[in-house]
């Protein structure tokens, strides 16, 4: 999502949701956020699970330094103990090898995803060990640049939506999805705004 798409989407959302219109005046537009499609981004998703952003970045940089090129074939050639020394757990090593195997073996067609529906992409990604619905939806949003995705499993997103709507208590994913149905076909931009609002909303 680039600046043009974000502006277009936010203008559309402000027309159908008064809370969005008011919030934009308080915190402004969110910044663009893009990730390249491919093995590198999906590998980063595995590494970043349940650890801090800084720790994940350090581990990923150490692993990438072990490879001649960033590719599933290069990753599969790495010694598991070298990956352990780089900071990856055995479970994450297994997940990453499963990802690389699926790409090399043709079970996961990353290039073909651009022509698949959102549901087809989600089904393909969640079939892999270590990838849930949230991971698939994030890939759809930021790597494939799909415009109508709402990762309701994201706690910060739901918390921000509750604050935006003045709702006390925690929203369930189902409740959150229902609250933003009228944001379609701009739910990806709306999600990006909610993360932005989460960090900058008035207390």
Residues 6+ apart with CB under 8 A from 83: 63, 66, 93, 96
Instruction: Report residue 115 as tokens.
Output: 């022509």
Q: Is 181 exposed, middle or buried (0-12, 13-18, 19+ CB in 10 A)?
A: exposed
**pLDDT tens across 21-62, in order?**
999 999 999 999 888 899 999 999 999 888 888 999 999 999
DSSP code, position 167: -
pLDDT tens-digit map of 184-193:
999 999 999 9
Give residue 199's pLDDT: 83
For the stretch 117-137, pLDDT in tens is: 999 999 999 999 999 999 999
* Count of alpha carbons within 13 angstroms of residue 162, beta-carbon side: 16
Q: Is the pLDDT of residue 201 over 80?
A: no
End-to-end CA distance of the chain: 28
**At 1, is the pLDDT very low, low, confident or very high (cuts 50, 70, 90)?**
confident
- C-beta separation of 50 from 57 below 8 A: no
Q: Is the dihedral of CA 109, 142, 130, 180 positive or negative?
A: negative
């Amino acid at each position: 999502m680039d600046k043009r798409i974000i502006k277009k989407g936010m203008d559309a959302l402000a027309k159908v949701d008064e809370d969005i219109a008011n919030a934009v005046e308080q915190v402004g537009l969110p910044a663009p956020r893009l990730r390249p499609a491919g093995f590198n981004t999906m590998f980063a998703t595995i590494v970043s699970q349940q650890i801090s952003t800084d720790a994940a970045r350090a581990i990923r940089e150490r692993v990438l330094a072990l490879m001649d090129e960033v590719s599933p074939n290069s990753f599969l050639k790495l010694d598991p103990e070298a990956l352990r020394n780089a900071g990856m757990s055995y479970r994450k090593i297994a997940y990453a090898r499963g990802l690389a195997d699926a790409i090399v073996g043709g079970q996961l067609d990353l290039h073909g995803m651009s022509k698949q529906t959102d549901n087809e992409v989600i089904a393909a990604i969640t079939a892999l060990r270590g990838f849930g619905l949230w991971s698939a939806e994030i890939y759809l949003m930021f790597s494939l640049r799909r415009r109508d995705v709402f990762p309701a499993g994201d706690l910060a997103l739901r918390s921000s939506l509750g604050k935006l709507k003045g709702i006390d208590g925690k929203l369930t994913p189902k409740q959150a999805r229902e609250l933003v149905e009228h944001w379609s076909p701009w739910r990806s931009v709306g999600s990006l705004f909610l993360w932005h609002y989460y960090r900058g909303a008035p207390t």
